[in-house]
Each structure stands twice: as C-alpha cells, then as structure tokens.
Amino acid sequence: MKVLVINCGSSSIKFELFEMPREKVLAKGIVEKLGEAGSRLRCRMNGHETALEQPIADHDEGLRLIVRTLTDTGHGGIGDRREIEAIGHRVVHAGEAFAHTVMITDEVIRALEDHVDLAPLHNPPNLLGIAVAREVFPGVPQVGVFDTAFHQTMPKQSYLYPVPYEFYVEHRVRRYGFHGTSHRYVAERAAEMLDRPLSGINLITAHLGNGASITAIEGGRSVDTSMGMTPLEGLVMGTRCGDIDPALMVTVARLTGKSMVEIDRILNQESGMLGLTGMSNDMRTLEDAAAKGNERADLALDIYSYRLKKYIGAYTAVLGTVDALVFTGGVGENSDVVRRRCLSGMAPLGYDLDQRINDRTRSSETVISTPESRAKVLVIATNEELMIAKDTFELAGA
C-alpha cells in the first residue's frame, strides 16, 4: 500500500511517499514559500531530483503540484494517483480530544477546529492541509497523527499547573507536551535495540532539534514531558527560552515598555541559544565558535547542557529505574559536545558515557554508554514521517 505523509506548515508542505508495510521511501520532498516570491518544489524520487521554481499560490496549488510530480513517470513517479491509498497528516495540537491516531472524519475536523485557539500558528495550516487533501484525493482514507496524543497518558500531577483550578476547567490551561510522534518512535526503536518489550522498560527520551523536549516514559507510556501548554516550556532551544520565571514577562514589559505580544514573540523567536549568543540558533555554528574560544557560545552551551542535565536527573527520580536514555533530533543525534556536557559527572546516577564512542557517533542507532553504565545511553535517529506512515497503514490498511 502506498501511503503519502503530509506535514503542512503555514507556508510549506513537506511530503514523503512510503510503500507500506515494507517501509520503503518512494519519494520525499517539500514545497515552500507558498504565496511568496521564489516559491518552489524539491523532490527526490527513484534517484531523480526534481527542483521547480514557479509561482505556487497556496496550499491547494502546492498539493496539486506535489501530486503531478509524484505521478510524473518521466521523473521516476508512480504514474497513477489512484495508487496512493491512504494519507497521513501530522497535526500539532489535539488537546485532550485524542490520545491516539485516528481516521479523519468531519467530527475529528470539528474537534481540531475547536483547538485552534490553543495552537493558533500550527493547527490552521494542518487543517488546511486536511481540507485540500480531501479535495484532491476524494474517497481516500485520511489519518491524523497528533504531536500531543502520546502525552495524554500523563497523570494529573504532571500535567496540571499550580494555578487556579478554574483555568483548567474553563480554559483548558494545562500541560500538553509536544514531539509525541518522535518520542514514541524512538521509544519503540529503543525497546527493539534493547530486545525487551516496551511495556517492561523505563526510558528517558531527549528530542533535541530546533525545538527540544524530554520525556519520561514508563512501560511505553509518557508520564512527564518538558514542553507544556505551548512548546515554549522546558529545555533551552534554538530560539525559545524554555523554563523561565513567568513574572519575567511583566517585569520586562515594565522595564522596556514592550507589549506582552512582543515579549511573547521574543521569547519564542529571539531567545534560547540565539538570544544568549546574539549569533546563531544553529548548534553547529555555536560549537565551532566555542571551539575557537568564543566565550558566549561556550556559556550558552553550558546553560543548554546544564538545564538538560537537571531534567535528566528529575526524570530519573520520577521513573526510579531507567533502562535507557535516548538522544534524538539534529542536536541529540549529532552533538557529541552536548551529550558529553549534559552527562558529565552523571555516572553515579547511572549514565556513564563511553567518550570515544560518543565522540564519533552521528545519526545512527548506537549504544554510547560503557558496559558498566547502569542505564544504556542510546543515539537513535528519529523518523516522525515513518511513524505517521506506520500508524496510517495500520488504521487505513485494516
């Protein structure tokens, strides 16, 4: 069965076509800058690279161009769109509505529309992608995979904020968590690497990309995660601040005259590693700078790693015993520097890194701890698209 996975952003559509259950990638690409100057499509399919730069007005035109490209046999395509038998959509926020992947129905769409106020930047393009795909592929089953779903197993003690309870009851103010599809994928892979059933092990999974979150997973169920009501809470990220004193916002507003909306934007887009260094949100650039003696870059790396270490310690306490700590995402998979700094001095807590293996491990499935380490430390490349394709195949193929 051919499954098309779609990740619709505000001005881009990422796509990947899988042959399932073989998990073979047939095509992968992106249309970007929708409705802007320089809009373009890039696609890799059957050894063919397609790159088109042409006006693409909106998501509807974008998806139709993707379908034309995927079915263009001259570029290694599949010939007939009817071969695409199911579509999986990445959806950011499903609130408390869905704890699992679901078939998309009118009722599901209404429930997601109901969550637009919780994810005003992400859910509208996700919904648009679903609407366009239903039009372009009439009658083809569509499946929704939600970033928040995996964390719906968190107990109240981890998801409630200590604020007036009415905020939760009346306005759904609580911690939801994100990156669920990635945490779930690497947890399943970790169980396979350890050759143990997921239901019988405890894991800490650190997804460190541009956004970053860490999750405590007990027997396959998320029991705590660092992102909260929005993806701003938790770890230091590329441009997001992570945990701060909430009164900082009011104080900064008073001191600078900036509005809450402006400060919210700064905390999301101009803080984190970019804010600390004033240089870049890209970990590679910052590691290079630190290696050349840039003190701010070095300090930012220390702050990033120190806060990550605190979460690892906290989640070790939450779980009691940890079978494996998993690093994933662009930074987690590639940055031996961050892994080394956040695990320094952690051997007594159960995390003993093999420095030589750590230093050379990039984006592969590797054990990077010593044989003596109580918990295994793993690097696992995440694959959210494959997880979405697997879920979609499971639901639509049945």
Residues found near ligand ADP in the complex (CB under 6 A): 209-211, 238, 282-284, 287, 329-331, 334-335
Whichever of 286 and 322 has its CB closer to ligand ADP, that residue is 286
d(CA 129, CA 131): 5
Cβ-based nearer residue to ligand ADP, 388 or 396:
388
- Closer residue to ligand ADP, CB minimum distance, 239 or 369: 239
Taking the complex as a whole, how short is the minimal distance between the CB of residue 182 and ligand ADP, in angstroms? 9
For the CB of residue 122, give the shortest distance to ligand ADP in the complex, in Å: 13
Residues 292, 344: contact at Cβ < 8 Å? no
Q: Which two tokens stand for residue 119?
A: 């994810």
- 16 vs 287, beta carbon nearer ligand ADP: 287
Q: What are the CA-CA distances from residue 67 to residues 81, 133, 191, 213 (Å)? A: 7, 10, 36, 34
Give the residue with the Cβ less far from ligand ADP, 335 or 373: 335
In angstroms, what is the minimal distance from the CB of 173 to ligand ADP? 26
Give the shortest CB-171-to-ligand ADP separation in angstroms: 28
Indicate if the alpha-carbon torsion angle 335, 336, 338, 343 is positive or negative: positive
From residue 269, how far is each of 17, 262, 263, 274, 327 by CA, in Å? Answer: 32, 10, 10, 8, 24
Comparing CB distances to ligand ADP, the nearer of 278 and 397 is 278
Q: DSSP E strands: which ranges in the chain? A: 2-8, 13-19, 24-32, 40-45, 48-53, 84-91, 102-103, 142-146, 202-208, 212-218, 221-225, 324-328, 366-367, 376-379
With beta carbons less than 8 A apart as the criterion, state whether 187 and 198 touch. Answer: yes
Tell me how far, at minimum, the Cβ of 280 lies from ligand ADP, in Å: 8
Smallest gap, in angstroms, from Cβ of residue 378 to ligand ADP? 17
Residue 291 · residue 336 · CB < 8 Å: no
Please list the residues that pair with 327 across neighbouring strands: 206, 379
Q: Which member of 60, 117, 147, 352 is catalytic?
A: 147
**Has 80 been annotated as catalytic?**
no
Neighbours of 259 (CB within 10 A): 10
Task: Report the residue number whose CB is nearest to ligand ADP.
Answer: 330
Active-site residues, by number, are 147
